[in-house]
Amino acid sequence: MVTPTVQSGKQVGECYRTYFYRDVRGRYWPCQVLSGPAGGPFTIRIPSWLHLAASEHTRTGVVLATSKASTNAVHPRVRT
């Protein structure tokens, strides 16, 4: 089994890669991983929350999801 990894940041002239943040209610939100090693923890930004204060749309210390049920975690893809 291949362990999923997440790449942080972006290359010059590129956009951030899109991953998914799963909140405590079980909803998936597209997110951008701003920084952190491949296995986490990460600093993420949730673009759809940009209308909120920076403390709300940017999260630090977010871990990589280890299962479909992982909440407050970054998922490399949406798991159905």
Does 47 score more than 80 pLDDT? yes
Q: What is the DSSP string of the chain?
A: -PPP----S--TT-PPPEEEEE-TTS-EEEEEEEE--TTS-EEEE-GGGTTS-HHHHEEEEEEEP-STT--SEEESS---
Q: How is the chain split into domains, by residue range?
A: 18-75
Identify the pLDDT of residue 17: 85
Does 1 score more than 80 pLDDT? no
**Mean per-residue pLDDT, 50-72:** 91
Identify which has the larger pLDDT, 48 or 2: 48
Identify which has the larger pLDDT, 60 or 17: 60
pLDDT tens by residue, 15-26: 888 899 999 999
